[in-house]
Structure 1
Amino acid sequence: MQSPRLREVTLVCLDGCCHGPFLNFPEPQNTISKSSSTSATCRRYFVAATTSSFFPSTKFTNHESLPSLQESFAQFKKAYPQYSNTKRADKIRAKEYYHLSLSNHVCLDYIGIGLFSHAQLHTQSSSTVPVASSSLPTPPQPQYSDFPFFSISYKLVNLKLELLHGGQGSELESAIKKRIMDFLNISENDYSMVFTANRSSAFKLLAESYPFQSSRKLLTVYDYQSEAVEAMVDTSEKRGARIMSAEFKWPRLRVHSAKLKNMIVSKRKKKKKRGLLVFPLQSRMTGASYSYQWMSVAQENGWHVLLDACALGPKDMDSFGLSLFRPDFLICSFYKVFGETPTGFACLFVKKSTVPVLEASTSTGIVSLLPANKLFQSPEYSSGTDTELEQTSNYGTQEDLVKASSFTGPISAARMRSGRSHRGENSEMSKTEVTAKKKESKTSETVESEENTDLVQHESTEISGNRSDSSEVIECSGLDHVDSLGLTLISSRARCLINWLVNALMKLQHPNTEDKVPLVRIYGPKIKFNRGSALAFNVYDWKGEKVEPVLVQKLADRSNISLSYGHLHQIWFSDKYEEEKDRVIERRKTEECNIAGNKRKSKAGQGIRVVTAALGFLTDFEDTYRLWSFVAQFLDADFVEKERWRYTALNQKTVEV
């Protein structure tokens, strides 16, 4: 029986004091043993609570026999009492992202950080917040004759010169840069930054400028096929780089440490220029976490390090500690509004001491942020409104680059006290990696009241300009919400939800089968304290044959659940699993493997197609339950055929699914 003292310690840890692998910073020698013991106990307790509290020793073989949402939530709260401490996230969702409830939409295809809230984007005069926030007071707001916008324009520039002498740009761009760096806890004294059209552009830009003639190697650490990484690989190879990739051990898809170490560590005593290590701290498909110490080992052996922070949680950069592990390059991305539009931009950061090693190259992926007409409203108004224009991202010729591509985002101007500051930004996700559907938002009129500050305390960033009578601010409510919740709350909430979902999916089993065929196979980490909030899985029929991920995604979409799909690769099988290799590895056609024009013959065409789901800080228990309930329908052997017939009957036409 657990002692009261130990129980108290573990419950405190579950409330958020124990974090992922990049939070375990060195401690004084006399506390290391005690700290390690407490952390290990905390993690074991969490796993035990997950596996033993939700219908232990139970397998569900009929989707109609699943426990109800209410019953499941009651058991969920018993298993994770710390989840009750995250109610502030639910309040933010109800007030600022009420479109999710109105549209009954489950968004599990967003990875990254949202800049703005739905309420901020769609606030209009003389409106009320429907349904979810109807109880909140909503006094009328000023009416504007023109809504504020900002635009994005592509520019043909030299990345190195832009980093060295790019200047501050417009007041708007300067303010947004400051906001981004503040949000990510990155110092302007240490890093320079450029905006790029998207994540792929950022990777390709660096590949075009990195000195592969002297530092020949490019080493990537990805357990999935990425359009952005493949764009970098293709460009680097054309410039003479030697391409290497880490491998991941089957079946848990952990990094093959011995192989990776051999590729990173120099066998010669004299340190030489090795090349570029492209390293994510977390897989955006499987949720696997990787040790930050690989970056230190690489830098000690003469490598430059690119940290891909796109899959990290919204506040993980605060805990990362760039002062301890300072990558030479860092890429992150932002989208506009969660559950509505995944468009946005990416940011490429370069350590100032590393800029001189780059080579001059004319690049096409860098963008500018420009103020539009009537960008700044009168400072007497406390909030702005905007309507959304389409972003044009098809570019390639120099002629195309001359044309400005319109991108809109809400800009809020207000009279502020001196000394008060804040930040702002935006990004676009790759089509291959994020297949988020652009849902047409239903008619929604909302108002944001200055008096309702009990849910979120909005910050604001002062723009230094020529005006002396007032200060203008850019408000990014999405970032404000993240800041107000903080790292502990966000990570604790995600940890509870993703582990419950993994456990629930593993309890689904086909009926009337001698081999007790599980319905779902999960790839990478399963129930684990420090796993990420992304999940890669496949659904299997009662014969043990895989249901195509694209089909699962289509059927989920009909249930108003947005999922993604992708391709796991670079999987290594030991002799023990050699026979299993032929059953699980799929070999795709050449044209299917041609990502971003990359026609290299490699292992990229070998891997596993999977369905992916990503949980964000606004995901709630009902979202995860609805995904579980949807997947459980495949326990019905005729589910797919019934859905095909239903679709044909409703649309009076046949369709291939």
Structure 2
Amino acid sequence: MNQTAPPLLEELTPAQAAFEAAYPDFSATRALDDLRAQEYARLDRLDHVYLDYTGGGLYADCQLHEHHALLSGNVFGNPHSRNPTSLAMTERVERARAYVLEYFNAPPEEYEAIFTLNASGALKLVGEAYPFEPGGHYTLTFDNHNSVNGIREFARAKGATITYAPVTAPELRVDMAQLEAALAQAQPGKHNLFAFPAQSNYSGVQHPLTLIEKAQAQGWDVLLDSAAFAPTNRLDVHRWRPDFVALSFYKMFGYPTGVGCLLARREALAKLRRPWYAGGTISIASVQGDGHYFSEGAAGFEDGTVDYLNLPAVEIGLRHLAHIGIEQIHERVLALTGWLLAQLTALHHSNGRPLVSIHGPTDLTARGGTVTGVFLDRNGAVLDERRIEELANRRNISLRTGCFCNPGAGEVAHGLTPEVMRAFFTGELGLSFAELRDKMQQQYGKHVGAVRISVGMVSNFADVYRLVNFARSFLDRTNADIGPFGGPDHTCG
């Protein structure tokens, strides 16, 4: 036994008792254990430890039953008509839309709820239609999902200035001095867009929502990516008043997976100019007249026919969350994350070297339930995260490895400089993530991948307990000891 390891009790029951003594507020969330046994019983029946909630939420059995009962008990048709099946479906679609606004406390007289394929689709809607212009700005934080980074290509094409506000290691929080300097560059009369995540999908850092009002006061429209935040935190749109909010429903409650949403303030929505039109988005169009008029409001942004049979499942899922209570979910996630961080950071090899290096905060200050880092061997070398995932799979543990579609946070966490990164974008030929990983290690001795563990609504103590015991299996071992990665490799997911 490694004498420097933390006193993690070997039996689950006494370990949980010690955990609950350290986190007394956890006892108020016991209803979630009953919910797990009733609605998510497949987790324990299949002996599975699910720790990829930032990748996707889990659905309850009752969500499926209610949705399937609705479909089997009714005849629904395409809502773009006035026949009985169409009217019935339209009513359900608008019910879902209204409840989305209600759940997020977005006043319907001030905000529109626009259904999209996913959160990325919501972000693209804003990016392609925002009136970027020479003299205008697109400012964003290093810590952003690639779907937010991608908006820079729309801004670049229209001549806007693109500015990144960096994050600083080791906690990966925004450098406020540099962000404030960037926000001060807005020119009166020009269009300026500022984008940031409420919670990092990489590190779990929760960036201050007070940035919304601060940016707006200086002439910025604000795009808030809430995909990683909304599953375990209360987002009060009326309180914070962002101009645009991107949402992912499957990350919140697992089902359905093909629907996202853009919440848009009507005043900000009026600034957008769509570069094309499709069925469903126009009031009229003419071939011979060579013209078209967009529909008003949400309809002008919902391309083609919405995923109408799945939209009632959105209302069902949101009501499921509302019944549970997001505060209860938040409290559970906070406690489990605190224990997980304490245990992982206390693990040391027998020579005193740490086993885990966390990318982000190591305490609960302004952070969520996403924990990312690298495992280090007894000599301080990074253990291959792909092999760690392979070994986790053998124990029925679902975690995630890669760069998590957030290159900015990852580059800072791994100590990668602009000069190093630019060297990989000088040629015309593309580069896969696997090739980047290999070249980075060979040429610079650096890494680009990490291990991400994320807890969520029905995580329990046994889940994080088993994860920590799994982590302990790497004490005093090297890459040679754990064996090579068996493949196949994956993209930067």
Q: Which residue of 1 aligns with 2:95?
A: 175
Q: Is the 8 A contact 2:26 2:331 kept in 1?
A: yes
- Equivalent-residue separation in structure 2 for 1:530 and 1:186 (angstroms): 24
- Matching residue within 247, 264, 268 for 1:332: 247
> Aligned pair 1:635/2:489, yes or no?
no
- Matching residue within 18, 35, 48 for 1:105: 48
Structure 1's 341 and 489: CA in aligned 2 closer, same or farther, altered over 3 A?
closer
Q: Which residue of 1 aligns with 2:369?
A: 533
> Aligned pair 1:234/2:153, yes or no?
yes
Structure 1's 147 and 572: CA in aligned 2 closer, same or farther, altered over 3 A?
closer
> Aligned pair 1:350/2:264, yes or no?
yes
Q: Which residue of 1 aligns with 2:400?
A: 564
Structure 1's 344 and 118: CA in aligned 2 closer, same or farther, altered over 3 A?
farther
1:526 Cα offset (Å) = 0.7
Q: Is the 8 A contact 2:141 2:167 kept in 1?
A: no
**Residue aligned with 2:374, SS:** strand
1:354 Cα offset (Å) = 1.8
Structure 1's 535 and 86: CA in aligned 2 closer, same or farther, altered over 3 A?
same
Q: Is the 8 A contact 2:106 2:238 kept in 1?
A: no
Q: Is the 8 A contact 2:259 2:311 kept in 1?
A: no
| Matched letter for residue 105 of structure 1 | H
Q: Deviations over 1:235-265 (max 9, x none)?
A: 3322333221110112222211111110001
Percent of aligned pairs with the same amino acid: 29
- Equivalent-residue separation in structure 2 for 1:636 and 1:110 (angstroms): 30
| Matched letter for residue 192 of structure 1 | E
Q: Is the 8 A contact 2:233 2:327 kept in 1?
A: no
Structure 1's 106 and 586: CA in aligned 2 closer, same or farther, altered over 3 A?
farther
| Matched letter for residue 18 of structure 2 | Q
Q: TM-score w.r.t. structure 2 length?
A: 0.77
- Equivalent-residue separation in structure 2 for 1:508 and 1:305 (angstroms): 41
1:582 Cα offset (Å) = 6.8
1:147 Cα offset (Å) = 7.1
- Equivalent-residue separation in structure 1 for 2:382 and 2:76 (angstroms): 46
Decide which structure has the larger Cα Rg and report it: 1
Which residues of 2 match residues 264-413 of structure 1 at below 5 A? Answer: 264-266=183-185, 271-314=188-231, 316-318=233-235, 320=236, 322-335=237-250, 343-362=257-276, 409=310
Q: Is the 8 A contact 1:570 1:607 kept in 2?
A: no
**Residue aligned with 1:178, SS:** helix
Structure 1's 283 and 196: CA in aligned 2 closer, same or farther, altered over 3 A?
same
1:276 Cα offset (Å) = 0.3
1:177 Cα offset (Å) = 0.6
> Aligned pair 1:551/2:387, yes or no?
yes
Q: Which residue of 1 aligns with 2:139?
A: 219
* Number of residue pairs the alignment of both structures matches: 441
> Aligned pair 1:259/2:178, yes or no?
yes
1:230 Cα offset (Å) = 3.0
- Equivalent-residue separation in structure 1 for 2:378 and 2:420 (angstroms): 20
> Aligned pair 1:502/2:416, yes or no?
no
Q: Which residue of 1 aligns with 2:25?
A: 82
**Residue aligned with 2:25, SS:** helix
Structure 1's 407 and 350: CA in aligned 2 closer, same or farther, altered over 3 A?
closer
- Equivalent-residue separation in structure 1 for 2:219 and 2:70 (angstroms): 57
Q: Which residue of 2 aligns with 1:26?
A: none
- Equivalent-residue separation in structure 1 for 2:55 and 2:379 (angstroms): 37
**Residue aligned with 2:379, SS:** coil
- Equivalent-residue separation in structure 1 for 2:207 and 2:88 (angstroms): 35
Q: Which residue of 2 aligns with 1:186?
A: 106
Q: Which residue of 1 aligns with 2:457?
A: 617
Q: Is the 8 A contact 2:231 2:251 kept in 1?
A: no
- Equivalent-residue separation in structure 1 for 2:67 and 2:370 (angstroms): 35
Q: TM-score w.r.t. structure 1 length?
A: 0.59
- Equivalent-residue separation in structure 2 for 1:532 and 1:274 (angstroms): 32
- Equivalent-residue separation in structure 2 for 1:636 and 1:149 (angstroms): 62
Q: Is the 8 A contact 2:247 2:262 kept in 1?
A: yes
Which residues of 2 match residues 384-463 of structure 1 at below 5 A? Answer: 409=310, 425=314
Q: Is the 8 A contact 1:277 1:298 kept in 2?
A: yes
Superposition RMSD in Å: 4.1
- Equivalent-residue separation in structure 1 for 2:189 and 2:179 (angstroms): 18
1:290 Cα offset (Å) = 1.5
Q: List gaps (5 residues or longer) in structure 1.
A: 1-57, 126-142, 156-166, 368-400, 412-423, 426-473, 595-605, 648-653
Q: Deviations over 1:114-161 (max 9, x none)?
A: 595224425899xxxxxxxxxxxxxxxxx99957798999x9xxxxxx
Q: Which residue of 2 aligns with 1:419?
A: none
Which residues of 2 match residues 638-653 of structure 1 at below 5 A? Answer: none
1:325 Cα offset (Å) = 2.7
| Matched letter for residue 39 of structure 2 | E
